[in-house]
Amino acid sequence: MVVDQAVAAGLSKADVEERVAQGRSNDVPARASRSAWDIVRANVFTRINAIFGVLFVIIMSTGYVLDGLFGGLIVANSVIGIIQELRAKRTLDRLSIVGQARPRVRRDGETVELAPNEVVADDVIEMGPGDQIVVDGEVLSGEALEVDESMLTGESDPVVKEAGDQVLSGSFVVAGSGLYRATKVGRAAYAARLAEEAGKFTLVDSELRNGINKILKFITYLLIPAGALSIYNQLSGDQELPEALRGMVAALVPMVPEGLVLLTSIAFAVGVVRLGKRQCLVNELPAIEGLARVDVVCADKTGTLTENAMRLAEVRPVGEAGPDVARVLAALAATDPRPNASLAAIAEAHPESPGWPVTAIAPFSSARKWSGASFGEHGDWVLGAPDVLLAVDGAGAEVRAEADRAGSGGLRVLLLARAEGVVDRAGAPGAVEPVALVVLEQKIRPDAKDTLDYFAGQQVTVKVISGDNAASVGAVAATLGLPNATSPTDARSLPEDPERLTAELEQGSVFGRVTPAQKRAMVGALQSGGHTVAMTGDGVNDVLALKDADIGVAMGAGSPATRSVAQIVLLDNKFATLPHVVAEGRRVIGNIERVANLFLTKTVYSVLLALMVGVPGLIGLDALPYPFLPRHVTITGWFTIGLPAFVLSLAPNNERARSGFVPRVMRMAVPAGVIIAVASFVAYVLTYPGATGSQVAQVQASTTALITLMVIALWVLAIVARPYQWWKVLLLVVMSGASALMFLVPFTREIFQLDPSDAGATLTAFACAAVGIVLVEIAWWAGKFLVRPPS
């Protein structure tokens, strides 16, 4: 179908303005983070803030304003969360704009690159290999056009598109070129809703977040009986109502791990900002965590280990003297308006096209491994992989051998050959007559070796999976020191059976001549073998594997299709950025696990203390008032949990991520919480003067219990901070010193109603604390022994 020149020229400026005024523009929401209002609402209107808000109102009604200090947590939780998420939002918004697909649109007879939301109805848009279809449309013209609609239909085989056929947003071009007219834009487009959801600021499918939610659900079940018992115990005793309410609030406030969810969100948000500074776009936040858990990285050679650009090194004629090879190469290069790296290098070396009329075209396909064109009386020509175009034996055997020798040195070798018929016929190209070997040079990325060495040191296996000649890929990988690179595997010899394929993949590290379907199968086979797999790539042939991998990593200069399916996009095209992403994920996971120990230890000892204080009243014994005031709970939270947890959550951490977050945290938090609760309760009971005792004696008993609790809690903090570094030691010293000052400075003693003047009671506190420390230490070492990895 010949496209009318007026139609092919595209819309005029006036046409565009008219359609924008009519609302017929592609006004899909940007693939970015949540709106500012969504962030504010999510951080202010939380269940924890609601609980604290009610308790704050209760305390204010008693007139004890200082006991309402915990109300500051409502403000702190909200403000800190809002600030960090807004920072992450700005980073995501900026990087999303940089990394988004930019369609090439015809306007006023010229081709311009536009943002997707600048496309309007009836725009004429160019298509080429790797281009993403950004709006629904109708094909105007196509040259051997093949479109992959697997993300929409699940069918991985490319669909041939001709003039008049429909193309849907969300699909992408795998071969050929053409034009299409936008028919449905904005929210009317087929994949608009999918695109909107794909780039949201989200924490879904995160083992870390799922684990925390599981813990919080369990805690909720504990809070109901413990809270009800506290309310009954405090309100049924002989205390005045204000005093009873103070005790009730003091019992309930520490049961809520108020900072755990906040610090998790902050850690992820800070990770986005840090990676953003390295030009790394994180489309989905769990990708930071996911890549930290990866134990196999499948990397494409071109664009990952080597630079995407190439240079024509030489052309070696083979066989008898034939046509002018330079003219044939120039003619082939001129047939592709969107050449790949190999054809672009040939076009650069042979820019003068002979102007031969084109009668048929076969664009390059990753599955075929060749491209070609028919020029009528000037012949039918193909350019592609020698080991694909030539038979193993016969006349082409010597040419194949020469190509293998060149490829074994790390060069890319293509065969220029004459086909026996037009190149777009069924069964093409058939038997070919070799004419020349086209030798191309690739530049190895200077940071590739350091990156491979990093992964090796972190016990992450790297598999190089490429569509290039296996010997050539192996030569490149060998220069980078990749294990087993000297024994590359030709993927055409790999078995189709998943179990046998998994076994082959476990043994090898370099695979050449891999088709897109095989890349996808290889990722699946590794996953079935129990591996967490990351796939890196930049070409359209990597899309299916990127989509199926646990973590897909695309290069910013790669095709729009790869960027759209990947969870992580390296906008600076540096493979060396991956170690930073891994390190950031490990920092997030390791630090959240540390601070989770602190918060959940507090929850455990708070619930148990409430039960131990309340049970005597239920069984007819004298009811005990809760040992602490709300203000005591506040200072305990400051110095043993809140401030240290904030510092630890943002600190460097290179520990390798492991599964089993919930069991590990509970293995530490439950014993520590039980020991703190029992030790504090014993210290309180030993010094409590009874209901008839003086107010001074009651304050001294409360102080005794608080000293016991804070000393053991600080020891738990010291355990969580291991292994020690200078800044961790400084943190422990500062927190311990600040805690001690609360009991030593007259001003703070008065404000927080503390009285450590009874030497006997204070010695009792330290004795109980010493026993508690020994037991916590034993529990920690026992826990380490239980989770020790098998030798």
Partnered with residue 166 across adjacent β-strands are: 138
| Strand extents, DSSP E, 494-599 | 510-512, 533-537, 551-555, 568-570
CB 460 within 8 A of CB 353: no
- The tokens for 248 are 């009730």
CB 769 within 8 A of CB 712: yes
- CA 508 – CA 16 distance, rounded (Å): 55
- CA 553 – CA 30 distance, rounded (Å): 21
338 vs 381 pLDDT, higher one: 381
613 vs 295 pLDDT, higher one: 295
pLDDT at 564 over 80: no
How much is the average pLDDT of 426-431?
86
pLDDT tens-digit map of 586-598: 888 888 888 888 8
Burial of 348 (C-beta count, 10 Å sphere; 0-12/13-18/19+): middle
pLDDT tens-digit map of 671-700: 999 999 999 999 999 998 877 778 888 889
**CB atoms < 10 A from the CB of 49, how many?**
18
- CA 656 – CA 367 distance, rounded (Å): 38
Instruction: Compute the CA torsion angle 300, 304, 305, 311 (nearest 10 deg).
Output: 100
Percentage of the chain modeled with pLDDT above 70:
85
Alpha-carbon Rg of the chain, whole angstroms? 34
Q: What is the pLDDT, as a whole number, of residue 234?
A: 65
Q: Classify domain 314-436 at the CATH class level.
A: alpha beta
CATH number of 288-305+445-573: 3.40.50.1000
pLDDT tens-digit map of 547-559: 888 888 888 777 7
DSSP structural state of residue 623: P
Q: What is the pLDDT, as a whole number, of residue 777?
A: 93
HEC profile for 333-373?
Answer: HHCCCCCCHHHHHHHHHCCCCCCCCCCEEECCCCCCCEEEE
Partnered with residue 132 across adjacent β-strands are: 172
Cα four-point dihedral sign 748, 754, 757, 761: negative
Q: Is 376 left (phi over 0), alpha (psi -120 to 50) or beta?
A: left
Instruction: Enter the pTM of the model.
Output: 0.69
3 state SS of 515? coil
pLDDT at 786 over 70: no
Query: Which residues have a catalytic role annotated?
Result: 300
CB 127 within 8 A of CB 178: yes
In this prediction, residue 768 has a pLDDT band, given cuts at 50, 70 and 90, of very high
- CA 435 – CA 381 distance, rounded (Å): 10
Percentage of the chain modeled with pLDDT above 90:
22
242 upstream amide cis, omega within 30 of 0:
no
- At residue 362, φ and ψ (nearest 5 deg) are -125, 95
- The tokens for 57 are 């109102």
- H or E segment and range at residue 116: none
DSSP structural state of residue 698: H
**CB atoms < 10 A from the CB of 367, how many?**
15
Nearest to 329 by CA among 356, 367, 309: 356
pLDDT at 202 over 50: no
Looking at 1.10.3720.10, 1.10.510.10, 1.20.1110.10, 3.40.50.12780, the CATH number of the domain 39-88+202-273+582-786 comes to 1.20.1110.10
CB 180 within 8 A of CB 9: no
- CA 782 – CA 356 distance, rounded (Å): 80
Q: What ranges do the domains of the chain cover? A: 11-31+100-196, 39-88+202-273+582-786, 288-305+445-573, 314-436
Q: What architecture does CATH give domain 11-31+100-196? A: Distorted Sandwich (2.70)
